[in-house]
């Protein structure tokens, strides 16, 4: 099943906005940090 998530295009996002987007997309903080560490 596809999920559609709208992400604001502001230069800066408040932490709660980013966490809300991640929640809608079904991405946990842990998954996000693991992907960040793997790709950086």
Residue 8 lies inside a defined structural domain of this protein:
no
Alpha-carbon distance of 3 to 27, in angstroms, equals 12
Residue 32 lies inside a defined structural domain of this protein:
yes
Query: Which pLDDT score, from 0 to 100, does residue 38 have?
Result: 93
Query: Which pLDDT score, from 0 to 100, does residue 13 have?
Result: 80
Residue 28 lies inside a defined structural domain of this protein:
yes
Whether the Cβ atoms of residue 29 and residue 22 lie closer than 8 Å to each other: yes
Query: Which pLDDT score, from 0 to 100, does residue 31 have?
Result: 93
Whether the Cβ atoms of residue 3 and residue 24 lie closer than 8 Å to each other: yes
The whole domain housing 35 covers 14-40
pLDDT digits (tens, 9 = 90+) for 1-40: 777 777 888 788 888 888 888 888 889 999 999 998 999 8
Rounded to 10 deg, the angle between the 15-25 and 29-39 helix axes is: 100
């Amino acid at each position: 099943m596809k999920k559609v998530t709208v992400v604001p295009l502001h230069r800066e996002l408040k932490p709660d906005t980013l966490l809300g987007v991640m929640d809608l997309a079904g991405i946990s903080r842990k998954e996000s940090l693991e992907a960040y560490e793997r790709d950086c």
